[in-house]
Amino acid sequence: MRVTFLGTGTSHGIPVIGCHCPVCTSTDSRDKRYRSSILVEDRGSRIVVDTGYEFRLQLLRENIDHLDAVLYTHSHADHLSGIDDLRVFSQKKNMTVYSNGPTLKYIETHYSYAFDESSYPGNPHLCAVELAPLESVSIAGINVIPLPVEHGRMTHMPIYGYRFSSFAYITDCTYIPDEVFDALKGVRILAIGGLRKRPHGAHFCFQEAYDAGKRIGAETIYFTHINHETSCSEIDSLYPDAFSAYDGLRLENLE
């Protein structure tokens, strides 16, 4: 299995429009961050987690010409707004999008034309399948376990992280329930949202994300959903076994 980070930025992306801070003006290409998303590939199957604003640019950059399924973490715009570009993958058969019930309900309400069989042929044609929390499921032959976590005080916004064998991806998180920690046992590589050094109400800071990774027992931790307060190289200097993910980073030979 192979994972590619399509984007690793928080909702603003980096550079932030109009910002002249050291990170937004950095010459390190790793400090350019599209909105957060990953691509998971295994034996010819391809799944993306989230379709943010730069979804089209991300897929062009990675030369993606087919996609089997989409998993959504939650319905915030920075994770969802590229959804219309799924239309290129849904002309012959509907693309299935997976998430928890409230996220799918939001998507079906706000993009109702994508679920209307009689709609204009050029529209995306999607079907929604709800995933039960912590229940292992095979999607395009890839084993997936949905991980319900919490996103600040947004109790109306249930959010799924996802485990794929020994790799797990959790973003926009401030609380991981005990039963999810149990379901994360055996994860060796964790990609987890770490926004910045200072605490934040809706996202783990680096230390909170690191502590979660250590509790899981992950050998390597990658921070993602990062804001413009910290450069990639500074993040890499914070811990011996945790690193900044960056756009285009590939993790190969995951089991």
Residues in contact with Zn ion by CB under 5 A are 16, 19, 21, 24, 76, 78, 172, 228
Contacts of 214 (CB under 8 A, 6+ apart): 221
**Residue 75 beta carbon to Zn ion: minimum distance, rounded to whole angstroms:** 8
Which CB, 125 or 225, lies closer to Zn ion?
A: 225
Structure tokens at 70: 């989409």
Which CB, 201 or 240, lies closer to Zn ion?
A: 201
Rounded Cα gap, residues 149 and 153, in angstroms: 12
**Residue 254 beta carbon to Zn ion: minimum distance, rounded to whole angstroms:** 23
How many CA atoms lie within 13 Å of 208's alpha carbon, on the beta-carbon side?
21
Which CB, 134 or 154, lies closer to Zn ion?
A: 154
For tokens 């979660």, name the residue: 212
**Residue 150 beta carbon to Zn ion: minimum distance, rounded to whole angstroms:** 11
Which CB, 7 or 142, lies closer to Zn ion?
A: 7
Rounded Cα gap, residues 169 and 187, in angstroms: 10
Which CB, 172 or 247, lies closer to Zn ion?
A: 172
Rounded Cα gap, residues 74 and 24, in angstroms: 27
**How would you classify the pairing of strands 142-149 and 137-139?**
antiparallel
**Residue 9 beta carbon to Zn ion: minimum distance, rounded to whole angstroms:** 9
Note whether 46 and 66 are within 8 A (CB). yes
Rounded Cα gap, residues 241 and 19, in angstroms: 31
**Residue 66 beta carbon to Zn ion: minimum distance, rounded to whole angstroms:** 26
Note whether 89 and 59 are within 8 A (CB). no
